[in-house]
Amino acid sequence: MRYITIALSKGRLAELSIDLLEGAGLDCSELRSDSRKLIFSDDKNKVRFFLVKPADVPVYVEYGAADIGIVGKDTLLEEGRDLYEVLNLGFAKCKMCVAGPKELEGCMDTVQISRVATKYPEIARMYFRRKRKESVEIIKLSGSVELAPLVGLADVIVDLVETGRTLKENGLVVLDHIADISARMVVNRVSMKMENERITALIRAIREQLK
Amino acid sequence: MKRWNLYTPDGVQDILFGPCILKRELESRIRHAFRLNGYLELETPTIEFYDVFAGDSGLMRQESMYKFCDSKGRLLVLRPDITVPVARIAATKLKDDDFPVKCFYIGNTFSFDELGGGKQNEFTQAGCEILGASSPEADAEAVAMAINAIKITGIEEFQIDIGQVDFFKGLMEESGLEEDAIEEVRELIDLKDFVGVEQVMDRHSVSKELRTLILDLPKLFGSKDILKNIDYSHIGERATKAIDNIKVILEILEDRNLDQYVSIDLGMVQSMNYYTGIVFRGYTYGVGFPILSGGRYDTLVSKFGRDLGATGFSLGINMIMMALERQKKLRSPEKEGCFVSYEEGARKQALEYCRQLIDQGIPAQIDFMLKGMDEGIRYASKKGLRSFVYFYRDGSRKEISL
């Protein structure tokens, strides 16, 4: 039997993913141990795991270097990879939003927005092109995006909003809702065919726990 | 300033000696197989007018093609595919009594981010087209030829998935969804995004039976048994015909003893651009992308002015090379050839010997560095030659097997 390879996103998603995989009967003890290894395995079930940066998970899965991946919908939207998105795992929930100063509230359609700061340039570009039919200048930042409208770098931001506290404390409000985000399980298109039985069984076992 | 003179453009690659030999060998085995089965080879230009692929028919996305202009300012493209040029030929160069025509091609195609190349922008495709035949027999012949071709490459474990675009189109007709919603459903089914399909269904009123079936579409793949479990009473005529079509093709493949390679995927809705009937894709271990794709394209030829049913497929040679490598089935080229060296004064005999070998069809090469026997042997073994022959002034010679 071949090994099935699962790519997990480093960070808080990994913890929750491991719980689910263990619940599905996989042995993740190696993953839980504090090891410097890059690849962990469950030799009994012939499954391997590795942890990579979230943005890299869809890449590994698209190329077939991993058969299965667990990653946030935000990353999937941003990366736009050609994958099967088979399960909404429901955790790590938040919303992808357009946010900006209070003055813009309710008048997004009348005001000309020219600059948008974001960590998600593709999502921002798609949103403004498809939904608002506008060509805007996208400014890519790596963090603390909320700062941009405050210091005049951008008119609005596109970012993940969980509780809305950071926005509120900085005098920003949600102007539009782009997408619901949560963790997803993705599968390589070829793996889904070639290892159909085992992958379907794993999907079923994980879906059972989500009920 | 020559800033880029050391590099190749994104997505293209040099293929050097060893891999190049293997690739040519693979191509010639495939060519031989196609010929044996009665297909005739043709070549189409590397560049075509942009209108052939885009224009009104809109077959390919504009941004996926390499574009440039000819001397009259007309827009040209590097061909992103060879099926469309073959359709152009079928409509414009062939005569009515030529059909049916079975032809094949092996050539390079160019596209940004195309699946068939595994993200390479230039990739070799080998494909067959059957023009002027609308029978399920012709479709089965195309699938069989595809299976045959994969086997010939040395890949043993693979799977061909068959779908039918009319099944999805038929269901959508019955559902009464609007075009935008249909496209949304198509994208979601293509992603096997079960939740997304459900959300769209919730927004529209679709009959309960049909709704269940549409929700199940992402799951409708596997052995042919899935065809038995479909409730035919609600799917409409078009979708029913699509299933019957698949069944007939499967029967023919059974008669050809090829059914063990084939499975069904009714949720295969990604490649609808010019397909009108069955669609199929080939998968194997080791590469995350399909190694072949094909299907029936009955309306493509008519876009160039002749009504003609057609079906065919193309193999991604680069993908197959990658799969063979990952499955450790790429054997290194066999040792062959002779390296001929000589002592000063023995040149004439050495050259004569070398020429005789070549005349007999044995690869041979003459030493022109002349750094002595040891250096000659070292060089010949490094280049993977099989033997070394050294000529002495007195006319004698020494042969060493490497």
**Residue pLDDT tens, chain B, 402 long:** 678 888 888 889 899 988 899 999 999 999 999 999 999 999 999 999 999 988 655 577 888 899 999 999 999 999 999 999 999 999 999 998 899 999 999 999 999 866 545 578 999 999 999 999 999 999 999 999 999 999 999 999 999 999 999 999 999 988 888 888 888 888 888 877 777 888 888 888 888 888 888 888 887 888 888 888 887 888 889 999 999 999 999 999 999 999 999 999 998 886 556 889 999 999 998 888 889 999 999 989 998 999 999 999 999 999 999 999 988 888 777 788 999 999 989 999 999 999 999 999 999 999 998 888 899 999 999 988 999 999 999 989 999 998
State the pLDDT at residue B258.
94
**Cβ-defined contacts of B60-65 (< 8 Å, 24+):** B60/B84, B60/B111, B60/B273, B63/B112, B64/B111, B64/B112, B64/B113, B64/B114, B65/B110, B65/B111, B65/B112
Name the residue among A64, A84, A194 with its Cβ closest to that of B191. Answer: A84
Q: How close, in Å, is residue B193 to chain A by CA atoms?
A: 5
- Can you give the pTM of this predicted structure? 0.84
* Helix A196-210, helix A12-23: angle, nearest 10: 100
3-state secondary structure of A6: strand
* E strand spans, B213-309: 221-222, 262-265, 278-284, 292-296
Residue A91 has pLDDT above 90, yes or no: no
CA B351 to each of CA A152, B336, B341: distance values in angstroms, whole numbers, following the listed order? 80, 19, 9
Q: How far from chain centre, in Å, is Cα B129?
A: 12
The residue with tokens 């609007």 is B178
* B221 interfaces chain A, CB cutoff of 8 Å: yes
Residue A191 has pLDDT above 60, yes or no: yes
Residue A175 has pLDDT above 70, yes or no: yes
CA atoms within 13 A of residue B124's CA, in its CB half-sphere: 18
| Chain B: residue whose CA lies nearest to A63 | B288
| Chain A: residue whose CA lies nearest to B292 | A190
With a CB cutoff of 8 Å and minimum separation 6, the contacts of A50 are: A5, A6, A7, A8, A38, A39, A40, A66
State the pLDDT at residue B100.
94
A71 pLDDT band, cuts 50/70/90, is very high
- Report all structural domains of chain A as residue ranges with CATH numbers, in order of start: 4-92+182-210 (3.40.190.10), 94-179 (3.40.190.10)
- Report all structural domains of chain B as residue ranges with CATH numbers, in order of start: 17-326 (3.30.930.10), 338-401 (3.40.50.800)
Sheet holding B364-366, edge to edge: B364-366, B338-342, B387-391, B397-401
State the pLDDT at residue B304.
92
State the pLDDT at residue B62.
85
- Which of the pair, A50 or B187, is modelled with greater confidence? A50
State the pLDDT at residue B185.
87
ipTM above 0.90, yes or no: no
State the pLDDT at residue A174.
94
The residue with tokens 């920003």 is A172
B197: left (phi over 0), alpha (psi -120 to 50) or beta: alpha
B332 within 8 A of B18, measured Cβ to Cβ: yes
Note the helical H segments in chain A.
Answer: 12-23, 29-32, 57-62, 73-79, 121-126, 147-150, 165-169, 189-194, 196-210
* B195 interfaces chain A, CB cutoff of 8 Å: yes
Q: Rounded to whole angstroms, how far apart are CA atoms A183 and A87? A: 9
Name the residue among B222, B265, B288 with its Cβ closest to that of A190. Answer: B288
What's the mean pLDDT when you consider all of chain A? 90
| Chain A: residue whose CA lies nearest to B287 | A64
Counting residues of chain A whose pLDDT is more than 70, the rounded percentage is: 100
- Which of the pair, A31 or A142, is modelled with greater confidence? A142
Q: What is the dihedral of CA B71, B77, B78, B82, to 10 degrees?
A: -130
State the pLDDT at residue B296.
94
Number of CB pairs, chain A paired with chain B, less than 8 A apart: 50
CA B31 to each of CA B35, B305, B330: distance values in angstroms, whole numbers, following the listed order? 6, 30, 19
Q: How many CB atoms lie within 10 A of CB B43?
A: 10
Task: Name which of A76, A189, A199 to mutate to probe chain B: the one with the most chain B Cβ atoms within 10 A of its Cβ.
Answer: A189
Kindly determine whether residue B159 and residue A189, on different chains, have CB atoms separated by under 8 Å: no
